[in-house]
């Protein structure tokens, strides 16, 4: 009888110890979840504070126009696909047409909420309007046949249509080259804007000789007394 009673007490003590250990493990597990959640919250707050430091769109373009001494005509989010001698890798960024040149620039996305940042290669180039030729729309199949696009490339198109922007230009060494972009806005807007910019383009040495109407902003000869576009009297 005493032996049986001892066995029962031993079993009860063992079960009590197991329950105590299980309770400690549950408490530790709950603490771990709380710690992970707290780290995520702090990371999200830091990430949000960094995003608040970004400048507004209007301030961004004012800085660009002041830096490049050009006026913005058209801009769009775009993916650069190739064609420039110094940049071979595909990258996403901003394609923008200024009064004297066509620009592309990508921007570093920064670290995510977990503090991880992907490798980044800065890409920025300028093509003066004096070196730009014609622009055209190229279907996706043609870019694949040229090897610009890979048929199995798992990348979502920026443009909703399977077509891409092509810009012919002359590089620094006098070679005919062709740039390719996947633009978010309709490609007809690029064709019209670049065509108009080329028609209105005046080399720097001639710009000082030609004034601008204070009312409509069109370029006019300094010999004119009236603006031929809006009729404004010129001093």
- pLDDT tens, position by position, 93-152: 999 999 999 999 998 876 666 666 678 888 889 999 999 999 999 998 898 888 888 776
Between 8 and 39, the higher pLDDT residue: 39
Distance (Å, whole) CA 120 – CA 124: 13
Distance (Å, whole) CA 83 – CA 176: 10
Question: What's the CATH fold of domain 70-110+117-201?
Answer: PH-domain like (2.30.29)
pLDDT digits (tens, 9 = 90+) for 179-229: 999 999 999 999 999 999 999 887 765 454 556 677 666 666 666 777 777
pLDDT digits (tens, 9 = 90+) for 164-176: 999 999 887 778 9
What is the predicted pLDDT for the residue at 41? 67
149: closest CA among 115, 182, 116?
A: 182
pTM score, two decimals? 0.63
What is the predicted pLDDT for the residue at 226? 77
What is the predicted pLDDT for the residue at 223? 65
List the chain domain ranges: 70-110+117-201, 205-235
């Amino acid at each position: 009888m005493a032996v049986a009673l001892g066995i029962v007490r031993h079993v009860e003590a063992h079960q009590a110890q197991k329950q105590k250990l299980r309770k400690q493990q549950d408490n530790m597990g709950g603490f771990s979840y709380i710690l992970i959640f707290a780290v995520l919250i702090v990371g999200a707050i830091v990430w949000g504070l960094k995003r608040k430091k970004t400048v507004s769109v209007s301030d961004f373009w004012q800085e660009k126009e002041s830096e490049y001494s050009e006026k913005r005509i058209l801009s769009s989010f775009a993916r650069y696909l190739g064609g420039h001698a110094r940049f071979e890798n595909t990258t996403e960024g901003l394609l923008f047409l200024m009064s004297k040149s066509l620009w592309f620039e990508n921007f570093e996305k920064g670290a995510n909420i977990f503090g991880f940042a992907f490798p980044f290669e800065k890409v920025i180039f300028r093509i003066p309007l004096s070196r730009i030729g014609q622009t055209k729309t190229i279907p996706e199949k043609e870019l694949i046949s040229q090897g610009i696009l890979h048929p199995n490339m798992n990348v979502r198109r920026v443009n909703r249509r399977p077509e891409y922007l092509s810009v012919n230009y002359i590089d620094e060494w006098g070679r005919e080259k062709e740039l390719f972009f996947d633009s978010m806005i309709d490609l007809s807007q690029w064709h019209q804007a670049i065509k108009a910019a080329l028609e209105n383009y005046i080399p720097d040495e001639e710009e000082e000789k030609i004034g601008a109407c204070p009312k409509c902003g069109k370029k006019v000869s300094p010999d004119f007394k009236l603006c031929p576009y809006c009729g404004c009297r010129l001093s």
